[in-house]
């Protein structure tokens, strides 16, 4: 007889999933409100278990052997910064060493028939794509964590929700779908991006069927609001949108203004889904501490930084059973707030909103500049849209930065004064001269890929390398 096929419901102990990671709404009445001691004890126990597991994965065995690290030496959360760290470059090296999957997957090719898996790719914005296998357990817990974010933002069972994430080789759309359908009791309408279902058709569906939310990136929500206006629809009156759980990309206030509904930010990345979520009390994002331990290290020295100081966010993911994420230096700039009880009642620690990527930092005539900071200043100017793209180039052997913004004024006499004012504003706020160009609305779509990528691209380094 042929070997039986193991299916997700054979592979996942669902009772264990909900016991270990309470889903919404139970979560918000239990662990969300736990005292710090209890939370930290839970995180530490899970971290130690995950370290033991990762010790059997080739990638970590090599990484840890190089620095003589022994997982047994992690006895408190204060020891977490001693865990060796890696960046996306180490993942690329792992793929080069053991192509095409790398030795970080936690599951060998020979074992793969034992349970079903999903394969998604990350890295559309910087460099080549990186594959990650997800076990059924990892899909379920990842979806459950995402559903917590949706519930906290205000989505409820029975809600119709447009899933406008681009279905593709990355897992954004699948994750939203699984969270809504499997863990929230909500009903996804899978429109995918504007390339699959035209934006106007998505808007018609949202209006006609009373969608409670649209899940996508912040940029696309603003684009949708513009298209709605052009079609004679009022985003505030002709829709039943209640909230937007969305990685806002700093566009939260503009999204709320455009749609008249609250936007709640989040932080996460491809391999682990949601790490931190914004509560209605605002003032930063709560780290989901039953699933993650995080800390911040200096961008240059790698030394652990005290609360309040900005550096690279290091994430230790506690819940996975396939590829582990232990000591991942995300190179995302963040700061942690000292632990205190939030007005929402939670003790889960908070981090600041996403501030940019440290590997995008450019040293321009002695000043450190981040493209995200340039974009924030440039797009705050009246008369220009929310889109921007920053290019670093070598001009006459000097590094120069140019920011391009979109405006209806492009090509008119008014464009010159606008770009001059933005350049002056950039110089005043960032302390360095940055060239500014005003281009037509929609002209940056190709460069940013905002209608197709899971995260729009904002920066390109075209400097000569020597
Ligand atoms: Zn809170």
Topology given in CATH for the domain delimited by 8-138+268-351? Rossmann fold (3.40.50)
- Phi, psi for residue 328 in degrees, rounded to 5: -80, 110
The domain 154-264: what is its CATH number?
3.40.50.280
- 212 C-alpha to ligand 1 centroid (Å): 23
Q: So what's the pLDDT on residue 113?
A: 86
In which residue ranges of the chain is CATH 3.30.300.30 found? 361-462
pLDDT, one tens digit per residue, over 56-78 is 999 999 999 999 999 999 999 99
Rounded to 5, what percent of the chain is helix, strand, coil? 35, 20, 45
Q: So what's the pLDDT on residue 224?
A: 96
Distance of CA 425 to the CA centre of its chain: 29
Q: So what's the pLDDT on residue 454?
A: 65
Q: So what's the pLDDT on residue 14?
A: 97
**Taking the CB of residue 462, how many other CB atoms lie within 10 A of it?**
9
- 351 C-alpha to ligand 1 centroid (Å): 11
* Per-residue pLDDT band at 112 (split at 50, 70, 90): confident
- Closest C-alpha to 433, from 446, 422, 444: 422
- 33 C-alpha to ligand 1 centroid (Å): 10
Residue with token string 């232990």: 326
Question: Using alpha carbons only, what angle is made at residue 216 by residues 223 and 282, rounded to the nearest 5 degrees?
Answer: 100
Topology given in CATH for the domain delimited by 361-462? GMP Synthetase; Chain A, domain 3 (3.30.300)
Residue 125 has pLDDT above 50, yes or no: no
Residue 141 has pLDDT above 50, yes or no: yes
Question: What share of the chain has pLDDT > 90, as a percent?
Answer: 77
- 25 C-alpha to ligand 1 centroid (Å): 15
Q: So what's the pLDDT on residue 239?
A: 98
Q: So what's the pLDDT on residue 450?
A: 80
Q: So what's the pLDDT on residue 466?
A: 44
Kind plus residue range of the DSSP H or E element containing 19: helix 14-20
- 17 C-alpha to ligand 1 centroid (Å): 24
- 159 C-alpha to ligand 1 centroid (Å): 24
- 14 C-alpha to ligand 1 centroid (Å): 28
Spatial distance between the Cα atoms of 437 and 353, rounded to a whole number of angstroms: 28
Gyration radius of the chain's alpha carbons: 23
Q: So what's the pLDDT on residue 465?
A: 62
- 286 C-alpha to ligand 1 centroid (Å): 7
- 447 C-alpha to ligand 1 centroid (Å): 36
pLDDT, one tens digit per residue, over 22-47 is 999 999 999 999 999 999 999 999 99
Q: So what's the pLDDT on residue 127?
A: 56
Q: So what's the pLDDT on residue 370?
A: 83
Mark out the alpha helices in 413-454 (DSSP H runs). Answer: 415-430, 445-448
- 282 C-alpha to ligand 1 centroid (Å): 7
Residue 248 has pLDDT above 90, yes or no: no
In which residue ranges of the chain is CATH 3.40.50.280 found? 154-264
Residue 215 has pLDDT above 90, yes or no: yes
pLDDT, one tens digit per residue, over 436-454 is 999 999 999 988 888 766 6
pLDDT, one tens digit per residue, over 413-431 is 999 999 999 999 999 988 8
Q: So what's the pLDDT on residue 250?
A: 83
Beta bridge partners of 294: 315
- 193 C-alpha to ligand 1 centroid (Å): 31
pLDDT, one tens digit per residue, over 286-341 is 999 999 999 999 998 999 999 999 999 999 999 999 999 999 999 999 999 999 99
| pTM (predicted TM-score) | 0.86
Please give the torsion angle defined by the CA atoms of residues 227, 232, 235 and 236, in that order, rounded to the nearest 10 degrees: 160
Question: What share of the chain has pLDDT > 70, as a percent?
Answer: 98
- 349 C-alpha to ligand 1 centroid (Å): 9
pLDDT, one tens digit per residue, over 162-203 is 999 989 899 999 999 999 999 999 999 999 999 899 999 999
In which residue ranges of the chain is CATH 3.40.50.12780 found? 8-138+268-351
- By DSSP bridging, strand 285-287 and strand 350-351 are antiparallel
Residue 230 has pLDDT above 80, yes or no: yes
Q: So what's the pLDDT on residue 354?
A: 86
Spatial distance between the Cα atoms of 73 and 79, rounded to a whole number of angstroms: 8
Give the mean pLDDT of the chain. Answer: 93
């Amino acid at each position: 007889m042929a070997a039986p096929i193991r299916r997700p419901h054979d592979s996942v102990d669902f009772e264990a999933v909900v016991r270990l990671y309470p889903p919404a709404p139970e979560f918000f009445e239990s662990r969300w409100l736990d005292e710090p001691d209890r939370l930290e004890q839970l995180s530490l126990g899970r971290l130690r278990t995950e370290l033991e597991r990762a010790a059997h994965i080739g990638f970590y065995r090599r990484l840890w052997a190089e620095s003589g690290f022994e997982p047994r030496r992690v006895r408190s959360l204060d020891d977490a910064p001693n865990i060796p760290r890696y960046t996306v470059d180490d993942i690329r090296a792992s793929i080069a060493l053991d192509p095409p999957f790398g030795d970080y997957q936690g599951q060998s090719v020979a074992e793969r028939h034992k349970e079903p898996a999903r394969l998604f790719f990350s890295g559309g914005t910087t460099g080549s794509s990186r594959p990650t296998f997800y076990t059924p357990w990892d899909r379920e817990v990842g979806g459950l964590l995402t559903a917590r974010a949706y519930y906290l933002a205000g989505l409820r069972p029975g809600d119709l929700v447009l899933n406008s994430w681009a279905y593709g080789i990355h897992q954004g759309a699948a994750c939203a779908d699984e969270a809504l359908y499997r863990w929230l009791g909500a009903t996804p309408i899978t429109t995918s991006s504007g390339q699959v279902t035209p934006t106007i058709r998505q808007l018609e569906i949202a209006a006609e069927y009373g969608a409670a939310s649209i899940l996508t990136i912040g940029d696309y929500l603003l684009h949708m609001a513009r298209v709605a206006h052009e079609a004679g629809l009022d985003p505030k009156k002709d829709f039943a949108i209640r909230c937007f759980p969305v990685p806002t990309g700093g566009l939260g206030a503009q999204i709320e203004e455009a749609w008249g509904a609250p936007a709640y930010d989040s932080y996460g990345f491809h391999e682990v889904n949601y790490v931190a979520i914004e509560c209605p009390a605002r003032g930063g994002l709560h780290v989901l501490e039953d699933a993650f331990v995080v800390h911040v290290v200096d961008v240059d020295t790698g030394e652990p930084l005290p609360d309040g100081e900005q550096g690279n966010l290091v994430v230790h993911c506690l819940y996975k059973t396939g590829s582990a994420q232990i000591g991942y230096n995300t190179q995302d700039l963040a700061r942690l707030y000292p632990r205190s009880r939030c007005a929402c009642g939670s003790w889960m620690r908070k981090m600041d909103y996403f501030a940019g990527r440290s590997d995008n930092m450019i040293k321009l005539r002695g000043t450190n500049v981040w493209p995200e900071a340039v974009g924030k200043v440039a797009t705050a100017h009246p008369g220009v849209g929310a889109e921007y793209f920053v290019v670093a180039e070598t001009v006459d052997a000097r590094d120069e930065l140019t920011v391009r913004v979109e405006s209806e004024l492009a090509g008119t006499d008014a464009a010159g004064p606008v770009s001059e004012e933005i350049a002056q504003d950039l110089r005043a706020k960032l302390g360095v001269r940055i060239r500014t160009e005003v281009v037509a609305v929609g002209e940056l779509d190709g460069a940013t890929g905002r209608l197709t990528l899971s995260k729009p691209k904002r920066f390109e380094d075209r400097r000569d390398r020597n």
